[in-house]
């Protein structure tokens, strides 16, 4: 009887864990950054606006110059998250 209960408990934990993994976001950036950039009038059409990869994965992210600048701005401003509206101040786009 105890083996059955333990097996059921382990199975329930595995099902919940798998469900959480399937529902979690695969990237470290989120669409909220892109939405705030677009609301500020920035033409951020896809992830490659700030990343090298088409679809960045958590833990394996490579930022381009714009993305590196955003990360530096986050540290400079002591912010908890990147704000896409900061891209209005990005010096690389001004020529």
The reported pLDDT for the residue numbered 1 is 56
Beta-carbon contacts of residue 33 (< 8 Å; ≥ 6 apart): 44, 50, 81, 82, 83, 84
Dihedral sign for Cα 27, 28, 32, 35, please.
negative
In the chain, domain spans: 26-93
Residue 57 backbone dihedrals phi, psi, to 5 degrees: -105, 145
pLDDT in tens, the chain (95 residues): 566 777 777 777 777 765 655 554 444 456 788 888 889 998 888 888 898 988 877 778 889 999 999 999 999 999 999 999 999 999 987 65
């Amino acid at each position: 009887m105890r083996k059955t209960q333990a097996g059921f408990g382990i199975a329930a934990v595995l099902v919940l864990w798998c469900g959480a993994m399937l529902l979690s976001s695969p990237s470290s950036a989120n669409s909220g950054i892109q939405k705030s950039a677009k609301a500020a009038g920035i033409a951020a059409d896809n992830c490659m606006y700030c990343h090298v990869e088409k679809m960045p994965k958590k833990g394996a992210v490579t930022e381009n110059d714009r993305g590196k600048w955003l990360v530096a701005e986050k540290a400079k401003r002591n912010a908890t998250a990147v704000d896409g509206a900061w891209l209005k101040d990005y010096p690389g786009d001004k020529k």
